[in-house]
Amino acid sequence: MKPSELRQMSDEQLAQVLKETRESLFRLRVQAQTERLDAPSEIRKHRRLIARILTIQNQRKRQQEKLAAAGGA
């Protein structure tokens, strides 16, 4: 999923994708420990997607705080 696609999502949608991706990453890690993975690169892809989502969420949070500070001053 591209960052531009993630930026177009609402906060609720991002939270849902983050939850699903974390669960999927957990299953991949368990599978990696118990048996051979078909595509080991999937772990890296999931970790990067989680990082992208968290980055976008933090950017939105900082932007909201900045607007609140500017509006309150």
**What pLDDT is stored for residue 73 in this prediction?**
62
Alpha-carbon span 64 to 60, nearest angstrom: 6
Q: Residue 62: in which H helix or E strand, if any? A: helix 41-72
pTM: 0.89
Both tokens of 48, joined, read 């990067």
pLDDT digits (tens, 9 = 90+) for 1-46: 889 999 999 999 999 999 999 999 999 999 999 988 889 999 999 9
**What pLDDT is stored for residue 22 in this prediction?**
98
**What pLDDT is stored for residue 71 in this prediction?**
81
Alpha-carbon span 9 to 64, nearest angstrom: 16
**What pLDDT is stored for residue 26 in this prediction?**
97
